[in-house]
Amino acid sequence: MCLGIPAKVIEIKEDNTGKVDYLGTKIKVNFSLIDDIKVGDYVILHAGFAISKLDEKEVEETLSLLKDFIENK
């Protein structure tokens, strides 16, 4: 199952569990598979676990690449 959702971290507890928010829905999540997470970061959520942190710089770069396509560069 590759289904993974990009969700925003809204709560991190001491035991590495917490909550993320996806389009207004809050989900319980386990952060034990990744390090250096803070509230406000985006993660990929899969089967109740955060498996990767989203690099927001790369999101911007991809969006910028897409705009290049529109301008036919």
Partner 1 sequence: MIVESFRNKEFIEAILKKIQEKIKKIGFSPKIMEVCGTHTMTIHKFGLRKLLKDSGIEMLSGPGCPVCVTPNEIVEASIDLLSNHRNLILATFGDMTRVPTKKGSLLTSIPAEGSFKKIVYSPEECLNIAKENRDKEVVFLGAGFETTIPSIAFTIIRAFKEKIYNFSLLSALWLIPPPLQAIVKSEEININGFLYPGHVSTIIGKKPYEFIANEYKIPGTITGFEPVDILLGINDILDQILESNPLVTIQYKRAVRPEGNPKAMNMIYEVFEKKDANWRGLGLIPQSGLKLKEELSQFDAERKFNLKIKSQSKDLRGCRCGDVLKGKISPPECPSFGKTCSPESPRGPCMVSFEGACLAYYKYGY
Partner 2 sequence: MKNKNLKKISLEIGSGGRLMKEFISNEIVSLFNNEILNELHDSALLPENIAFTTDSYVVDPIFFPGGDIGKLCINGTVNDLIVSGAKPLYISLALILEEGFSTRDLRKILNSIKEAADRADVKIVSGDTKVVKKGQGDKIYINTSGIGILISRPRLNDIKPGDKVIVTGTLGEHALSIMLARGDFGLDARIKSDCAPLNFLLPIWKKGVLWMRDITRGGLASVLNELVENLPYSCIIHEEKLPLSSPVKGASEILGIDPLYLACEGRAVMIVEGKKALSILSEIKGNKLGRNASIIGEISEKFGKSGELLLNTLSGGWRLLEPLTSELLPRIC
Helix (H, G, I), strand (E, B) or coil at 63: helix
Placement of tokens 């969006």 in the chain: 63
Binding residues for partner 2 restricted to 8-67, rule: CB under 8 A: 22-28, 45, 48
Q: Give min distance, CB of 38 to partner 1, in A.
A: 17
Q: Give min distance, CB of 29 to partner 2, in A.
A: 9
Give the Cα-Cα-Cα angle 1, 58, 27 (nearest 5 degrees).
45
Binding residues for partner 1 restricted to 31-70, rule: CB under 8 A: 32-35, 42, 44, 46-49, 51-52, 54-56, 58-59, 61-63, 65-66, 69-70
Q: How many helices (H) and strands (E) does the chain have?
A: 1, 5
